[in-house]
A and B are shown apart, each in its own frame.
Chain A
């Protein structure tokens, strides 16, 4: 009996000791089972005017090892489309709403006065849309922006008032990459802002380096609190003026001396090899492409250097992005960061075919730039690429920035990070710029507002969440009947299934609708309008519905974006002197009358 008693006591003691441990253990299991995993950080990198085949992983000869590495780790999109120019693309990217409804149907610099009288044609992000930054900030994310904003600089329009906690932002359509200098006479100065206040760039500024440094500074500033971050990095590379450090330029000496046709063909072959486009992809030869063989040796040398600076600027961008990725690894955040790399629109072809001609020299020289061969791309130099080399940057696609052809709208999109299960694969599924916002929100576990946000009416997000595509659950998110409309200054497109309806006006278009199968014919070489009249009609009706629902306005007769930009520049430059002259004349008029009367009376 005493032995049994002792045994019972021992068991009781053992149980009493074990119970709290078990309870603690149960608590700990429960905590680890139900604690929310840390939400992913998001880094959204937006290149400016990058052509479809500029990156190594997209068929280009430019050395881009860091972006190629994230392409190998993640998913590349071969059929991703954005807007054909800057601000509308950025508006759709950051809101998931069509650019017309978001208040940015075109950049303000190119809007004709006839359209500027409409509230949604101001070229400034409206208050009727909510940015992804605002929604992520609401959800506890730190939100940063370092780079080009171009969605408004008036009261309430800077990024610091549109959901970004820390910012250093360029309000203009572009600016110099080496110093605080405007690149077109439309601006009196390059308008940079930091956290909502005018900002003076440092003396050692080079755009890609500076913007990556700022992003790292912002990220590090709040790393200790453990909250996730959303870093938006809209780079200036490779927007006009095309500029790069000398060390990078030296690497591309002689690379482009065979000319643009050879380069366009080489890139087509390489993008076929990579599986980005079908093996039988054909190309058009654009009417803006000159004949390389008729150029003098001096002209070829100059053209090659222009393109070499372009390649150098892309490589410099890649190098600095590599620094950002390395930094994320060093602070142990890389594996929990969703990285998205894309471009705002396709390759830019606004550079003159003859930049040394009297007419082409006027704008750069009026801004104090030089066009010397030796210093091309360096500080104080104004460089662009010609429409001919832009056709190579867009290879194997047709047309470029400002046009709704594939060359203007189809750009690289790379997504890598946690949950991206298709490492190194290429997705041929159609996707659109409005899909980025819902995708980011989905990764962050945030729900987009339907039609109201904080008591005010807002436009609903139209984009689709690409997460099922990224995680490998589905092969496409748009079905055969979904249609995506697009319009820019009278150029228009409608995507439906594998097909695209295209309308190009002005000098590069014929003013007729065309139908292309952009999956089998991404080069838009074979018009199917006659062959498939029923599809053509159905898609035309869908476009008309899109235009009506999104309040698309027709551009004035004879409108041309380059002409309008010139008019707006002249208006900007001479508006004030004209007003001063008029008011002075008004003041002087009575004196002149009095003087004449006095003279007559004597």
Chain B
């Protein structure tokens, strides 16, 4: 069971890290996947900095959870994903944004991380 969870969480972490790196190296390729048009100046700086930071943090914290067995790393990643899903829902309700299908994945992964924290987490 532990092996399966380690593998799944690590795989997802690598995917998030790849997305973060893509934002760093080739933002024009990944921006359309998020429905974004790249800006310039401060806008471009914010897009690249925030998005790469988000995904790299997500991936690295998940890997830290797997490697160290410290539960707070899973919690941090789960909180980040949950807040993203909440934000998307508010955007849909209040700001007329599209109801993004990504919400499903974010909730599923957040739940998975909470379970992983129980399975993979070690008592101090």
Contact = CB atoms under 8 A, between A and B. Distances in A.
A595 interface: yes
Contact of B17 (A579, A587, A595): A587
Given A584-B14, A587-B17, A587-B56, A579 B25 contact: yes
Contact of B25 (A576, A588, A591, A598): A576
Interface string A584-602: 1001100100110010000
Interface in A544-602: 576, 579-580, 583-584, 587-588, 591, 594-595, 598
Interface stretch (B35-43, B59-67, B77-85): B59-67
B26 interface: yes
B67 A576 contact: no
Contact of B29 (A576, A587, A591, A595): A576
A595 B67 contact: yes
Contacts of B26: 576, 579-580
Contacts of A595: 66-67
Interface residues of A, number: 11
B18 interface: yes
Contact of B24 (A583, A594, A598): A583
Contacts of B17: 584, 587-588
B21 A587 contact: yes
A373 B21 CA distance: 44
Contacts of A584: 14, 17-18, 21
Given A580-B26, A588-B14, A594 B21 contact: no
A198 to B, nearest CB: 12
A583 B67 contact: no
Contacts of A576: 25-26, 29
A588 to B, nearest CB: 7
B39 to A, nearest CB: 15
B87 to A, nearest CB: 26
A400 B60 CA distance: 57
A186 to B, nearest CB: 16
Given A588-B14, A588-B17, A583 B63 contact: no
B25 A587 contact: no
Contact of A587 (B22, B60, B66, B67): B60
Contact of A583 (B21, B29, B66): B21
A595 B26 CA distance: 30
Main SS at interface, chain A: helix
Given A576-B25, A583-B21, A584-B21, A598 B14 contact: no
Contacts of A588: 14, 17, 63
Nearest to B56: A587
Contacts of B14: 584, 588
B67 A594 contact: yes
A584 B59 CA distance: 11
B60 A583 contact: no
Q: How large is the interface on B (under 10, 10 to 19, 20 to 34, 35 or more residues)?
A: 10 to 19
A580 B18 contact: yes
A598 B64 CA distance: 12
A583 B24 CA distance: 10
A495 B64 CA distance: 71
A583 B56 contact: no
B22 A580 contact: yes
B14 to A, nearest CB: 7
A588 B59 CA distance: 10
A103 to B, nearest CB: 27
Contact of B67 (A579, A580, A598): A598
Interface in B4-31: 14, 17-18, 21-22, 24-26, 29
Nearest to A594: B67
B55 to A, nearest CB: 11
Nearest to A595: B67
Interface string B44-63: 00000000000010011001
Contacts of B22: 580
Contacts of A594: 67-68
A305 to B, nearest CB: 38
A591 B56 contact: no
A587 B64 CA distance: 12
Nearest to A593: B67
Of B17, B29, B66, which is in contact with the most chain A CB atoms at under 10 Å from its CB? B17
Of A576, A588, A594, A598, which is in contact with the most chain B CB atoms at under 10 Å from its CB? A588
Nearest to A579: B25
Contacts of B67: 591, 594-595, 598
B4 to A, nearest CB: 16
Contacts of B29: 576
Nearest to A587: B17
Nearest to A582: B21
A588 B16 CA distance: 12
Nearest to B24: A583
B123 to A, nearest CB: 15
A591 B56 CA distance: 13
Contacts of B25: 576, 579-580, 583
Given A587-B56, A587-B60, A588-B14, A580 B21 contact: yes
Closest 9 CB pairs of A and B: A591-B63, A576-B26, A583-B21, A594-B67, A595-B67, A580-B21, A584-B21, A579-B25, A584-B18
Given A580-B25, A587-B59, 12 more contacts: A576-B25, A576-B29, A579-B26, A580-B21, A584-B14, A584-B17, A587-B56, A588-B63, A591-B64, A591-B66, A591-B67, A595-B67
25 contacts: A576-B25, A576-B26, A576-B29, A579-B25, A579-B26, A580-B18, A580-B22, A580-B26, A583-B24, A584-B14, A584-B18, A584-B21, A587-B17, A587-B21, A587-B56, A588-B14, A588-B63, A591-B63, A591-B64, A591-B66, A591-B67, A594-B67, A595-B66, A595-B67, A598-B67
